[in-house]
Amino acid sequence: MTPPILSIRNPQAMVRAAETVRAGGVIVIPTETIYGIAALLENQAAIRRLYEVRERAPEPATPLLLARAALMGELARVNLVAQQLARRFWPGPLTLLLPPGPDLPLELRAAPVALRVPGYAPLLPLLDAVGGYLFVSGAIRAGHPPAITAQEAAALFGDDVALILDGGPVLFGVASTVVDCISVPPAVVRRGAISEDKLRDYLLPEAPAPAR
């Protein structure tokens, strides 16, 4: 069966999506990179369900989408490099790997966090409606490429998810670039939508941020 596919630009669909997530449901959402599968950060049962649906092992870092960069300090121990990268590339397809903050649920403090503010404005009201952030991993199932449309997500997950928000085809079609801001010097650990050339000046040891 196919779960409900609702336009992300429909305010009632956004209300329904927020209610579903708060009730412990797992949903699919669009971003500018690929579609993602989302659950409430505070609901460990929903997060376990998310990984069961993806048929993939839990990721080594806790993947979170934020409504705004100001929320970084609630979720991570933020350093200067991360602040510089966030100022330059957020909102956008860059994920920052950081040590977990003390306010995270206890179950998630053993692993780093992977934070991103998406450059897809229609998604931000949903993030705000559920407290400013969501646990979001790529809408990928074992043996398949990532979903880049709502219809592809429906074909992958069927009624294993509660609903799908449809934002049309994604802009990039590849995952975000991931920079490890814990290591010294920081390093790109996953190539993605932002090229390493654009990041190079920020990754040099003890280099100041380039002039804007």
pLDDT of residue 203: 86
Mean pLDDT of 1-26: 96
pLDDT of residue 201: 87
Mean pLDDT of 5-28: 98
> What percent of the chain is predicted at pLDDT more than 70?
96
pLDDT bracket for residue 2 (50, 70, 90): confident
pLDDT of residue 202: 86
Alpha helices in 63-141 (DSSP H): 72-75, 80-89, 124-129
Cα–Cα distance list, 59 to 111, 137, 187 (Å): 9, 9, 18
> What percent of the chain is predicted at pLDDT more than 90?
86
pLDDT of residue 57: 85
Per DSSP, the chain holds a count of helices (H) and strands (E) of: 7, 10
List the domain boundaries for the chain. Answer: 5-203
pLDDT of residue 205: 60
77 or 208, higher pLDDT: 77
Q: How confident is the model over 127-183, as pLDDT tens digits?
A: 999 999 999 999 999 889 999 999 999 999 999 999 999 999 999 999 999 999 999
CA distance 73 to 66: 11
pLDDT of residue 131: 96
Q: How confident is the model over 48-107, as pLDDT tens digits?
A: 999 999 998 888 999 999 999 999 999 999 999 999 999 999 999 999 999 999 989 888
pLDDT of residue 210: 53
Class of domain 5-203: alpha beta
CA angle (117 as vertex; 114, 118 as ends), nearest 5: 110
- pLDDT over threshold 50, residue 207: no
Q: pTM for this one?
A: 0.93
Helix, strand, coil shares, percent, the chain, to 5: 35, 20, 45
